[in-house]
Structure 1
Amino acid sequence: METLEETFKSLAIARRLQPSEATYILDAAAQPGGGPLVAVSCSNRALRLHQCETLALQGEFKGHTGTLCGVRFGHASPDTLYSGSADGTLRCWDARRPGSEATRVFRSEPGHAFCSMDISSNDVVLCAGTEQVGEDSFLVFWDARMATGASGKQQGLLGVYSESHSDDITTVRFHPRQADRLASGGTDGLVNVFELNLGGEEDALVTTCNCDSSAGSICWAGVGGEQLLCVTHDEGLYLWDVRQTDSDDPLTLLSATDARSLVTLPDGGALEYFVGGAWLEEAGQLLVVGGASQGELHLLDCSEKGLRPVRSLAGGHSATVRCFLWQPEGGGLLTGGEDGQLLQWRPGATELQGGRKETLKSTSSMQLKARAHRKHHSKSSHSQLT
């Protein structure tokens, strides 16, 4: 089994896709099973499809009228693409038909603005987290095989959880193998784990963790997916063992309110922010990616011992990086950011597409700001998935 050092030691820029307009790349998803496509969501509300190998633009989808909050390919149906937006819709697209209309549209109640989304590992359940609505925040669930009909009637809506968060639900992630297991995080400082097959919200909520700040991103980690990593909007980092779902106190493996202080870079530079984390199955290690506002990237090994720098990548981006994808089939890394660039890093590569790097505004007006979390409100009613 390769270590992270062996995996990343020869990474270099293979291809660079320059922005044709001043748009940020917000999120990215790779077609499963080593498929040829990668999808990226952009700040102009468009979804772009690129070839993984060449980064060539294959087309785009338009239809959302609000800021995009995520993009995902189906697991069993890799030609199916899902996206979510603050416009109050999740949409399904046919990746074989760039430029076409959405094949399905998912809505909930008027006034819901979504700021996170994901789809279960068996492609059956879609989930979206809303911004706070009055005193409430909602996890909304749909049957992904159904959608709003021509009459506008809400078809496929399975139910709503309304008690587990008291502020914007900024991130939701289904377990990569257990279709009924879901984690959610919000600006209330709570990270919750649900077992959806247990019934109503009160029974389904099996574990609650506190990250003491606004949750920015979460990911499942560990050999069996028994760990949960959370990176906060103010650069905190938490790693929990959540395998004991009958315990009110998940085992904290790592806790840092400002994890940048855990990292000493070899060149003496400063780590300014975290992009997020990813479990690398083939290496059996947890990768955390951080960076600096001028575009440098730092690849870190994360464990209960802390954060350990593995490799720094320079000469690529010129602004904050917003997303990354590890592609185990070719040992490559894709990164996208606020400079609008999509970069492909490969072992031993020599850049095939050069050119001038465009420097765009590096501070996103859409960046979620860290907020002091509110006390957890008690809600008056429980919802159950039907």
Structure 2
Amino acid sequence: MSSSDEDQPNEIDCDTCNTSELSKLFGESLRITSEEAISLQKDYVLYLDNSRDFGRIAASTSSNSVHLFDLNSDKGFTQIQRCDIDSINYTEDQTICGIRFGKEDVNTLLVAAAHGKVYRYDLRSKPMPVQTFENVDANQKPFMCFDVNADDSVLSIGTEQHEGEANLLLFDVRKVSSLAVYSDSHRDDLTQIHFHPSKSNILASGSVDGLINVFNILESNEDDALENSLNTESSIQTINWHPKVIMQIDDEVAGDFISCITHTNDFQLFDVDECEQIFECERKKITKLIKRSSVSDCYLINCHTTAFGDIILLAGSNFNGGECLRSLTLHEKSFKPRNNFTDNKQIIRCSVFNPKDNTLITGGEGGIVTVWGDWQPKNIDTHKLKEKVTTKKNRKSTPY
């Protein structure tokens, strides 16, 4: 599964075909409709999340700040300064490890800090947390990732590994109390937690140990809760749920797939119901598919699902400041070129996608939040991106 034997010596990464061929392969290029620089400092945008209605976007940075943006077609894409979450003095020991809007309540924003607390904010009030969830275990492990379920009733948090054990914590959001601790299912850092988008009781977790575990949290104990365990044989970077209708099995959604991007920049797809891997695409192959020459510069970002059920894989090259950004579509168990994103200014670290209008929003190492697609704001003259003077360095390793 590893791509280490595919890494090439230092070279200039470039397209493997001309501009005309790129246009034919990737169809119409997607351009920037709007973007904002979070600051003039060298802040990375590490996490993005969207409200249910896509009216707001939240972004957190490497300097441990959280910023809110209004994605309103009448006002344009604007940062809401008054809602900037600055009430908690996050320090190096309190690194933000994730942000989430409430799945039902668009006025709820949750911010997780690695030191062992998750803060819930009500965006209608002053930027002070209205609830705090924390691990009261004597052997408290730093938090790594978290998610809230489809009806905002349960919060799940994944921890670092300590003495061969990593915990998955469950909290009752309404009572601010612990529901359960799963401690036997993972043996290394938890890197991803995602509740099922519509089934409030189904949870998937991914770990450095290579396992993707699927739980039914309604069960009374961890052994009964564990429904499936999928082995990627690699360290897991991201996981995502996808409806099974994407593979055109039948006319109705008959279950789910889970996609996985590994820390070696390989892609895997699993059938959750059959508990098996059904598709795999290594970094070397993806490099060829996005028409780039250097495998060591190719990196995978995230997967999204369109309104028609297609899986989109977002990938790029970290050469020359990350100017190359492209997407592929999974079709009949193979990837096909989809979009070429022109004028990208940074190595991308995170993304969210609105399937209703095919709007993609990205954040990255330039501290910029970018809106791509057909979304057209009204009453806006030009991009409001602040000028940033930065020195780009050629990078030969994955940014993650």
Q: TM-score, normalised by structure 2?
A: 0.80
Structure 1 letter corresponding to 2:258: L
* Aligned counterparts, 1:234-383, within 5 A: 234-244=264-274, 250-256=275-281, 258-265=282-289, 267-270=291-294, 272-280=298-306, 282-293=307-318, 294-295=321-322, 296-303=324-331, 305-318=333-346, 320-347=347-374, 352-353=383-384, 356-359=387-390
- Contact map agreement 1:263 1:309 (CA 8 A) in 2: no
Q: What does residue 70 of structure 1 align with?
A: 98
Corresponding residue SS for 2:166:
coil
Structure 2 contact 29–339 (Cα < 8 Å) conserved? no
Q: State the shift of 1:264 in Å.
A: 2.5
Following superposition, which runs of at least 4 residues in structure 1 exceed 6 angstroms of deviation? 360-363
Equivalent residue letter for 2:315: G
Query: Structure 1 residue 22 and structure 2 residue 46: aligned?
Result: no
Letter matched to residue 359 of structure 2 = G
What is the CA–CA distance in structure 2 between the aligned matches of 1:30 and 1:157, rounded to whole Å?
A: 26
Q: CA deviation at 1:49?
A: 0.6
Aligned equivalent of 1:150: none
Give how far 1:359 is off: 3.5
Cross-structure match for 1:61? 85
SS of equivalent residue, structure 1 residue 11: coil
Give how far 1:167 is off: 0.4
Q: Percent identity?
A: 28
Structure 2 CA distance, aligned partners of 1:299 and 1:269?
A: 16
Contact 2:69 2:78 survives alignment (8 Å): yes
| Amino acid in structure 2 at the alignment position of 1:184 | S
Q: Is it true that 1:166 corresponds to 2:198 in the alignment?
A: no
Alignment partner, residue 378 of structure 1: none
Distance 1:47 1:276 in 2: 21
Match of 2:67 among 45, 48, 56: 48
- How far off its partner does 1:347 sit? 2.3
For 1:359, the aligned partner's letter is T
Match of 1:216 in 2: 237
Higher helix share goes to which structure? 2
Q: What does residue 191 of structure 1 align with? A: 212
Partner of 1:232: 262
Q: Which amino acid aligns with 1:313?
A: F
What's the RMSD between the two structures over aligned residues?
A: 2.7
CA distance in 2, matches of 1:278, 1:348: 17
Residue 105 (structure 1) aligned to one of 124, 132, 135: 132
1:366 deviates by 12
- Judging changes above 3 Å, is the alpha-carbon distance between structure 1 residues 361 and 160 closer, same or farther for their aligned structure 2 residues? farther
| Change beyond 3 A, Cα 1:165–1:11 | same
Q: Which runs of 5+ in 1 are unaligned?
A: 148-155, 245-249, 369-386
**Map of 1:203 onto structure 2:** 224
Cα separation, 2, equivalents of 1:199 and 1:361: 52
Separation in 2, partners of 1:124, 1:33: 19
Deviations 1:140-161 (A, max 9, x none): 01011133xxxxxxxx111100
Per the alignment, do residues 316 and 262 of structure 1 end up closer, same or farther by CA in structure 2, a change over 3 Å counting? closer
CA distance in 2, matches of 1:89, 1:348: 36
Match of 2:18 in 1: none
Unpaired runs of at least 5, structure 2: 1-23, 246-252
- Distance verdict in 2 for CA 1:239–1:142, change over 3 Å: same
Aligned equivalents of 1:197 and 1:24: distance in 2? 38
CA distance in 2 between counterparts of 1:145 and 1:132 reads: 28
**For residue 95 of structure 1, what is the amino acid of its counterpart?**
L
TM-fit CA distance, 1:44: 1.2
Tell me the equivalent position of 1:373: none
Residue 211 to residue 48, structure 1, CA distance change in 2 (3 Å): same
Distance 1:116 1:288 in 2: 22
1:338-377 deviation per Cα after TM superposition (whole angstroms, max 9, x unaligned): 11011111228696335645436777x9965xxxxxxxxx
Structure-2 change in CA distance of 1:283 and 1:290 (3 Å): same
Letter of the structure 1 residue corresponding to residue 343 of structure 2: G
**Whole-angstrom distance in 1 between the partners of 2:372 and 2:101:** 22
CA distance in 2, matches of 1:103, 1:8: 47
Give the aligned residue type for 2:169: V
Alpha-carbon distance change, 297 to 227 in structure 1, aligned in 2, over 3 angstroms: same
Change (3 A) 1:266 1:167: closer
> What's the CA shift string for 1:37-68, capped at 9, x where partnerless?
11111111121111124332213113244222
The one-letter amino acid paired with 1:70 is G
| Preserved CA contact (<8 Å) 1:14 1:351 | no
Partner-residue secondary structure (3-state), 1:131: strand
Matched, 1:122 2:151: yes
